Structure 1
Amino acid sequence: MTLLDAPDPRWHEFAQREIDSLIQRIDGLVAVHHVGSTSVPGLPAKPILDLLPVFRDAETKAVAKTQFEALGYEWLGEHGLSGRDYARKFDPKNGKRVVHAHCYVSDHPDITRHLAFRDALRNKATLRAAYTSVKAACASRHPEGGAAYGLCKSEWIDKAEARALARIQETSK
């Protein structure tokens, strides 16, 4: 078993179905973005969708827990990141994790960070190629995935995100 799957063009379709379901059933959502590696065409990834639900305010995010749980999500609260609520969904047929939901209130700076990184990967083939190499090396070192795999990639991601955010700031001047 490998940690990373080859790019699957159906990831976008699967994400859109889940996004539509969340928008229809969760109160207070402003938007739901598809982020993470499955949101970037041509990028190998763990076959888990990363979604970024954005709430209009803290109150609607706080009461969303029961609505997420009704849709089959396990709500874990901040789960180590201040200002984010994290929920995950498992496939009831095989028990595999299929969705991560990183929930934020609309003014949280991590929203811009996630979107900047995603868009930079979508728009720059050289960045995608570099990230593919980093992911492959980390997956080789940490085939079990988890925190060790994430930590292995984190320095590269932090630098790429910082450059993507700097580009946004430059173009908004």
Structure 2
Amino acid sequence: MTADQEPRRNIPRTPMTPGEIDAAHVGPATRLDGRVTLAEPDPLWPVVYATEAERIGTALAALPHRLEHVGSTSVPGLPAKPVVDILLAVPDSAAESTYVPALEGLGYGLVVREPDWYEHRVLRHPAVAPGIDYVNLHVFTSGCPEIDRMTGFRDRLRTHPADRALYARTKRELSGRTWEYVQNYADAKSEVVEEILRRAGRG
């Protein structure tokens, strides 16, 4: 891979335009055109993660991999969209044939492909449990710096109540606004995310 071909290393990630959001999706991107609904902390969230991690781990037993519960449902006491986010690290996230078919066998479908952002992929499984909208499986190549950022942010929120409260306030305030896409809501949180990561020494 030449320098011109290397994926962008834009940290922090820049807000996505509607065209970029649509281009990243496998099929049309789903519009929100409304507010984001947050749920209060639910003890079911880590249970769903554990169940799905076991299923995924079994399906990918022949492939070296790492699984982590990330996102707001991984932080006790934090409100969140009822969506469980799982991080999957594999030897090469661009090599979809090494993991996508096995995950499709579990009911996951590829919904996002971002070759210019760490070869990020997202697979989604709907309705895995009552009260859960879906599971998002974020796939990166092992060693990708975004893995440390995602887990580092989670760990900071788990262990620092003031940062957790700040993030919760930010989420509640932004969820009351109207957004074209859920990604726009996620991008709007970037400033406070970067602030917290800097305090964690990961900014």
Among 91, 94, 111, the residue aligned to 1:76: 111
**How many percent of aligned residue pairs carry the same amino acid?**
30
Kindly indicate whether the alpha-carbon contact (under 8 Å) linking 1:4 and 1:46 is maintained by their aligned counterparts in 2.
yes
Q: Distance in 1 between matches of 2:84 and 2:173?
A: 21
TM-superposed CA distance for 1:163, in Å, is 2.8
Moved more, 152-161 or 39-48: 152-161
Read off the aligned partner of 2:107 and give its amino acid letter: G
Out of 63, 67, 81, the residue aligned to residue 28 of structure 1 is 63
Structure 1: any 5+ residue segments left out of the alignment?
Answer: 168-173
Return the alpha-carbon distance in structure 2 between the equivalents of residues 162 and 111 of structure 1.
Answer: 16
Deviations 1:88-134 (A, max 9, x none): 1112799x741111111211111100010000000001111000000
Match of 1:14, SS state, is helix
**Greater relative contact order (Cα 8 A, min sep 6): structure 1 or 2?**
2
RMSD: 2.6
Give TM-score scaled by structure 2 length: 0.72
* Aligned mate of 2:194, from 134, 154, 158: 158
SS in structure 2 opposite 1:42?
A: coil
Amino acid at match of 1:68: L
**1:22-67 CA deviation, whole Å, 9 max, x = no partner?**
0001241422000000000000000100000111x11795321111
Q: 1:2 to 1:110 in 2, by over 3 A?
A: closer
Gaps of 5+ in 2: 1-34
Alignment partner of 1:58 out of 77, 92, 99: 92
> Structure 2 CA distance, aligned partners of 1:124 and 1:59?
32
Query: In the alignment, which of 126, 130, 137 is matched to residue 166 of structure 2?
Result: 130
Superposed counterparts of 1:42-121, under 5 Å: 42-55=77-90, 57-58=91-92, 61-62=95-96, 63-79=98-114, 81-91=117-127, 97-121=133-157
Correspondent of 1:7 among 22, 41, 44? 41
**Residue 7 of structure 1: how far off its partner (Å):** 0.3
User: Residue 117 of structure 1 aligns to which amino acid in structure 2?
Assistant: F
Q: Are the aligned partners of 1:88 and 1:101 in contact in 2 as well (CA < 8 Å)?
A: yes
TM-score, structure 1 as length reference = 0.84
